[in-house]
Structure 1
Amino acid sequence: MTSVSLLLSLLLGVADVRGGSEFRICAFNLHHFGESKSNKNEIMITLARIITRCDVCLLQEVRDRKGTAVSKLLQTIRRYDTRNQYDLLASERLGRKGSYQEQYVFVYRTNTVKVTDRYQYPDNMPGDEDAFSREPFVVRFKAPKTSIQEFVLIPQHTTPTNATKELDALYDVLQNVRRMWRTENVMLLGDFNADCGYLAKKNRDKVRLITDRSLHWLIGEDSDTTVKHSTSCSYDRIVIHGEKFNGAVVPSSAQPFNFQQEYRLTEEQALNVSDHYPVEVLLKVSSSRSFNGVTSFTSSFTAFQCFCLIICHLLS
């Protein structure tokens, strides 16, 4: 990618970023995100385009051993979307094997949401110690513009061969967090590997996260969250606890985001970004609310978008 085309990608990013009339929570498995991917401008710009659609975006499969890739990603995001302010919160590196560890990373807009607490689940449930390969890094958020006001996110990237057990153990994490923070507004999200060969239908009645009727699975069984055309699996999920939180969700807004189709990428180009599509959901907002004095605006960028398109045409 030339410096001119990179600049134009950054400028046109303004048009991609969603306005303040909605609040979007996303979960995205980045598929071995580390130093190699962070050194490829095309991939980083596409990641920025995807992540800046979201007020909060959970990233998984972050394998940033040197601690530089995530920093580069945040810098790219901040250059790409100057209308909003971004920060991140990362877990420690997690995994039973020293040779393979991952981090959970939350990227969020500081002008629309604030981190109020965090909790690394110790994975020491009596009788079921070390249930997770990558135990949840739980984060509590305050989001004044939403109708729910505050909520907790419990992330999980299950081990495919142990998905059924880990999904059931997530129920214990949920109860732990509800008691500890005295909250009912909890969302569980991530690459659950909750479909195809990893979660057999005969085992689903053994998973309390599925059988408890106070939990709402928002990504349907018929949703395909995988990039490869040869697969169709609902691995990535969003689960809401409680009627109040479920009522704060914009109906039918939970879905995978097909960035390959949206950005007109080939399958190979999309797979270079990730083998998963992100999943997302919208929360209801009040248009009169602001955060730290920052109000939303969208129409003022129409002329700027047109200017960028004209420049692109002239340089093509």
Structure 2
Amino acid sequence: NYPHQGWEYYAGDLDKNDDDDLGERMGFFFRSSLVDFLETGTWQEDNDKFHRAPVYAHVNCSTCRKFLRELKDFYIFNFHAWPETALDEIKAMPAFYHTVSAHFGVEDMLFAGSIDAADYITPDDIKDSLPSSEPGFHWLIGNKVDSVTNSSESASLQRLLACTDAVLQGFKGKHGHSVKVKQKYNLTREEAYQISALKPIEMKLKHH
């Protein structure tokens, strides 16, 4: 757990949850000197729509415009949906987006986290869950991307949702890919699972 030589890290304790079954959510940002983190917190409203309150980080990227020319600043919201209600939580995201966008006065947002569950939602459910009236919404992880470390058990899947075209334009390509930690680091399935039940998802930023 040693930082990479020459890299800067920012770690934020995004929330503390009183539910013993749910651990704390932490945000780790590498090469943090390229961006400014203006605010982090937990969105406590709309708790009737989400099993667990979304957490957020306000990112200002004016110092790294060569990477994200389309963006001045944006919000990252993290969701951790309850499997049985995951589809309802996904359907609530467009209205949630308009609420928080108006509240913070920022349109560009990235929704991230474990927001669906293999046993409860089909790919068609995900595809059909966002209204066509939200043309700026883009799923950045395809339905066929395997993000579960232990494929023999059911688990939540990681997903990214770009809420505007500007956020989408900041990335190379329209879909991310999962990092095969087991093969890359020559681990057993049990060792990979001890690190995380979910595989890291990688997307590359555009260089201008």
TM-score, normalising length from structure 2? 0.84
TM-superposition CA deviations, 1:180-200 (whole Å, max 9, x none): 222221111111125x32214
Q: d(CA) in 1 for partners of 2:155 and 2:133?
A: 20
Query: Which of 181, 192, 201 pairs up with 1:270?
Result: 192
Q: d(CA) in 2 for partners of 1:216 and 1:181?
A: 21
TM-superposition CA deviations, 1:36-90 (whole Å, max 9, x none): xxxxxxxxxxxxxxxxxxxxxxxxxxxxxxxxxxxxxxxx3xx331311212111
**What secondary structure sits across from 1:115 in the alignment?**
strand
Contact 2:149 2:196 in 1 (8 A): yes
Q: Which has the higher contact order (CA 8 A, sep 6+)?
A: 1
Query: Which of 157, 166, 171 pairs up with 2:89?
Result: 166
- By how many angstroms is 1:210 displaced? 8.0
- By how many angstroms is 1:156 displaced? 0.6
The aligned residue for residue 101 of structure 1 is 22
TM-superposition CA deviations, 1:7-54 (whole Å, max 9, x none): xxxxxxxxxxxxxxxxxxxxxxxxxxxxxxxxxxxxxxxxxxxxxxxx
- By how many angstroms is 1:100 displaced? 2.1
1:26-65 to 2 correspondences below 5 Å = none
Which structure shows the bigger proportion of residues in helix conformation?
Answer: 1
Letter in 2 for 1:102: G
Query: Which of 105, 123, 137 pairs up with 1:182?
Result: 105
1:69-80 to 2 correspondences below 5 Å = 76=1, 79-80=2-3
| Equivalenced residues, count | 202
Letter in 2 for 1:132: F
Do residues 85 (structure 1) and 8 (structure 2) align? yes
Change (3 A) 1:171 1:188: same
Letter in 2 for 1:227: T
Q: d(CA) in 1 for partners of 2:127 and 2:147?
A: 23
Contact 2:147 2:199 in 1 (8 A): yes
**What secondary structure sits across from 1:260 in the alignment?**
helix
Rg: which structure is higher?
Answer: 1
Q: d(CA) in 2 for partners of 1:246 and 1:278?
A: 19
The aligned residue for residue 167 of structure 2 is 245
1:1-316 to 2 correspondences below 5 Å = 76=1, 79-94=2-17, 98-108=19-29, 109-124=31-46, 129-143=47-61, 144-145=63-64, 146-147=67-68, 148-194=71-117, 196-200=118-122, 203-204=125-126, 207-208=129-130, 212-230=134-152, 235-251=157-173, 254-286=176-208
TM-score, normalising length from structure 1? 0.57
**What secondary structure sits across from 2:26 in the alignment?**
strand
Identity of aligned residues (%): 19
- By how many angstroms is 1:140 displaced? 0.9
Specify every segment of 5 or more residues in structure 2 that has no aligned partner in the other structure, as ranges: none
**What secondary structure sits across from 2:33 in the alignment?**
coil
- By how many angstroms is 1:213 displaced? 2.8
Q: d(CA) in 1 for partners of 2:111 and 2:17?
A: 18
